Chain A
C-alpha cells in the first residue's frame, strides 16, 4: 500500500539555498531516487538530480540522505525510519552546481595525474598470462564505480586543506590497482610519496565504511601503499633493526 512521506530536499545553487518540503506518496519497494523522480515529475520539473543506471552500477546518484553519504538508487525507503521526514542534500565536499548536483570535475583531473598502465611485451604466443589468484586483489579494486562517496567523507578532502596535495581514497585505490597489477612495470612510489600525497591519509577508514562496493580501501589498498613507501624511503638501518626485532613497519 502507498504511504505518505515528507521529503526535505535542498534546493539552490552556488549562491546558496534552503530545504524545501515535499509531501509525496511512496509505493512498496521504492528507493529514494524513485521518490525524487516522482517529486520531479509532479511538483518540481527543474529539480536537478544526477543519475543513470538506477541499479548501483554507475555511481552517479551519490547524495547525503539523512546526513549519510549514499547512492540514492540503492537506498530503499523501508530502510529509513518511518514517520520521520527524509532529508536529502548534495555531497558536502564538492561545490554545488544546482540542488542535488555537485561539481565533481576535480576528481577527473586527479585521475590524469596517475602514471598510466605500462605493461611489458606480450608473451611469445601473443597472450598475457596471469593467474586468477594473482589478479583477485586488483579485481577487488577495479569494482570501484567512481561514486566519490569515499572522496566525500575523507577528512583530508572535506577540510579542503588537502586539495591538490592529496588525490583522495578513490585515486589511491586506482594507483594501488596499477601497482599491484602483475604485469605492470611502472614505478609510482615517487609520485605516491610526493604529488599524490599518500602520506596524508590518516587511516580513519571512513572511506571503507561508505563504499557501496564494499571495497576494503584502507586495509587492502592504502595501507599496503604506505608500507611500500616506508620500505623504500625509510632509513635502511632502522628498517633492518625492525626486521631483526620482528616488528611490523610503521
Chain B
C-alpha cells in the first residue's frame, strides 16, 4: 500500500457524524466559507436524531409566558445535580430560542399555539411547557430541515463513509483516515480541523434505545488522538423503553406520554411515583393524586405530577418496584394514557407511539397500558471541550452534541439534547473557523501514520484465525449489563474492569470472513475496539466516583456527597497506552450563575417578572400575550 494510491479528498474542515449536531456544525462551517466535508456512517438523514420524539427545549415562552432562560438554566443545573459545566448550561439556555427560531426560518413546521406561534409541551424536569415539537416525531423534523437546508449551503456529504482514525501533524489535527462502506475502499481526508459529532456508545449494553451506529467511535478516536474524556460514569437509562416482545426490548417510548398526562402503575395498580419523590424536588412536586390531577387540568397553583420527575429518578423508581416484585408481566411498569386521554387525542399527539405499539407489540395504547422499563439511552459524559469554542485539548479537534461532555452534568433533561445539538453544533462550527483563522501553517500527516491506520483496519480481514466479532460484542453487553448497569457496586465494577480487559485482548484478535465491500462483519470488528475502549472508561469512572449522583447510582455509596459535587473524573491515554483515570477539582462556579441555580423557584419567577417590567407573581406578564396552548401542548 502506498499513500499516493489511496483516494485523497481535501477540505478545510471534516465533520464526522451527520446527526443534528454534525449537520448544524457543517452548515455553520459552510456558511463561514469553509470547504466542509460531512461524513456519515449511514445515509444522510438516517442518524439517531431522527428517533428523537418529544421535542426541543427552549425558553421561547410561547406556551407559558413566564418562561425565561434563567429558569431553563436553573432546571438544567438541578436536573444535572449541579455537575454541569456552568458556562455551557448558561450558553445553552440563552441561545436555544434563537436556534429553534432559525430552524423555522429554514422550513421546520412545528405544531402551533392557538395564536399561531410554535407550541411547547411539558416534559420531565422542565418548570414550564418548553419543548417545541411536531407530534412525537420532532427529531425527524429537525434532521430533515437541517438536511434540506444543508444541501444548498455548499457542504459536501460523504455518505456511508466511516472514520477510522484522526491523523495528526505533531500535536495538531491534520486529517481523517476513513473507508467507504459501499466499496470497502479506503479514503484519506486531508483537512486542518475535525469536528466530532458521533453520539454515544449505547450499543455497549443489550437493552438500549440506540441504533447500531452508537458504538462510541468519536470518543475512542478522540481518546486515541490524545483528547480527554470526562464524566463517563453518567450513562442515562431512559425510564420508558419497550420491554415486550423481546426483539423490541429497549426501543424508546417518549417522555411525551407522561408530559401529556400518562401515569405509571405497578402490578397492584398503584401509582407508585408518589413514593419516590426526592428531597430536592419535593417542594415543586405534587404529593397527592388530587393535586397532580389539578395540574393536568391546567391549575397553575398545583405542582407537577411525580411522573415528570427527572429521568434518573423515574428509572430508579421503576427498577425498585420490579425488584420488590411489583413489576408488570415482563418485568417493567405499566404506562397508562388510555384511561387518561381520549383516543383521538392520543392518536394525534402521539401518532408514532400509537403505531409502534400496535405494529410491534400488538398493543392498542388508546385502550391498554404500555409495558415499559429502563433502557440505556444517552451519554451525559464524553469528550472534554472548551465551553465557548467546543475545542478539545487537541488543537484543531472539536466535539459537539452527545459525544461532548459538560452541558448535562450527572443527568440530562429530556428535550435538552435536541437544543444541545443546535446550540453547540453552531458553536463548534464557529470555533473551527476561529481556529483556522489563527492557524499560520497547514498541518500535514506523514505517510507512516496514514499507512499504519489503514493496515490496522485491514487486519481482521487478513487473520487466518480469530474470534467472531459479534460474539465479543455480545459478551461485552453481558458484562456491561451485569457489572455497569443502572445500579452499581464497587465490587461489580472491579469485576467489570477485569472482564473488559480480557475483552480488549479478544477484540484485538477478531476475524471477519469475506471481502471488504459492504461487510457488516468487518465493520463490527472495527467498532468493537471503540466499544471496549469506551466501556473501560465508563467502568473506571464509575468505580472512582464514590457517591450516587444523577444517573450514577452506587449501592455501596448512597446519596450525593458534597465533596464529589466539586469533582470530575477525567480519562486520558497514558504514554504506555493504558487508561489513566484522574479525579480533578472543578473550578468554583461564577457567582451570578450559582445564585440563579440555587434560588427558589418563587424568587426566580419574581425576578424574571420584575425584569420584564410586569407585576410580580404568577400572572402572565411577558411582552407576548399568553397563548392558550392546544390540548396537551401546554398545561392549559
Contact = CB atoms under 8 A, between A and B. Distances in A.
Given A58-B50, A60-B43, A116-B152, A46 B360 contact: no
6 contacts: A54-B248, A58-B46, A108-B159, A125-B623, A126-B101, A142-B144
Given A55-B51, A56-B359, A125-B624, A97 B470 contact: no
A112 B154 CA distance: 11
Interface string B120-163: 00000000000000110101110010001101100001010000
Given A59-B46, A74-B359, 4 more contacts: A46-B513, A58-B51, A139-B111, A143-B137
Interface stretch (A23-31, A155-163, A202-210): A23-31
Nearest to B107: A117
Interface of A: 13, 27-31, 34, 40-41, 45-60, 74, 76, 97-99, 101, 103-105, 108, 111-112, 116-117, 119, 122, 125-132, 135, 138-139, 142-143, 145-146, 174, 178, 181, 184
Given A29-B244, A30-B245, A128-B104, A48 B46 contact: no
Contact of A97 (B182, B355, B468, B469): B182
B255 to A, nearest CB: 16
Interface stretch (B226-234, B303-311, B519-527): B519-527
B518 interface: yes
A40 B520 contact: yes
Interface in B93-120: 101, 104-107, 109, 111-112, 115-118
Contacts of A13: 517
A57 B48 CA distance: 10
Contacts of B106: 117
Given A45-B470, A112-B152, A74 B360 contact: yes
A139 B140 contact: no
Nearest to B117: A127
B111 A132 contact: yes
B499 interface: no
Contacts of A116: 107, 148-149, 152
A55 B141 contact: no
A111 B107 CA distance: 15
Interface in B34-58: 42-48, 50-51
B8 interface: no
B445 to A, nearest CB: 29
B509 interface: no
A203 B107 CA distance: 28
B356 interface: yes
A143 B137 CA distance: 8
A75 to B, nearest CB: 9
A149 to B, nearest CB: 14
B360 A31 contact: yes
A188 to B, nearest CB: 13
Nearest to B633: A132
A129 B251 contact: no
Given A45-B468, A46-B519, A146-B45, A27 B247 contact: yes
* Residue of B44, B117, B518 with most chain A CB atoms under a 10 A cut-off: B518
A122 B470 CA distance: 52
Closest 3 CB pairs of A and B: A29-B245, A45-B521, A46-B514
A45 B512 contact: yes
A103 B182 contact: yes
B352 interface: yes
Nearest to B147: A111
B213 interface: yes
B51 A48 contact: no
B483 to A, nearest CB: 23
A55 B211 CA distance: 10
B520 A52 contact: no
B102 to A, nearest CB: 11
Best-surrounded residue of B44, B115, B248 (most CB of chain A within 10 A)? B248
Nearest to B62: A127
A104 B111 CA distance: 31
Contacts of A174: 148
Contacts of B139: 57
Contacts of A57: 50-51, 137, 139-140, 352
B630 interface: yes
B256 to A, nearest CB: 14
A132 B137 contact: no
Contact of B247 (A29, A60, A98, A99): A29
B324 interface: no
A52 B137 contact: no
Contacts of A181: 107, 109
Nearest to A59: B46
B247 A122 contact: no
Given A53-B50, A127-B117, A132-B112, A104 B468 contact: no
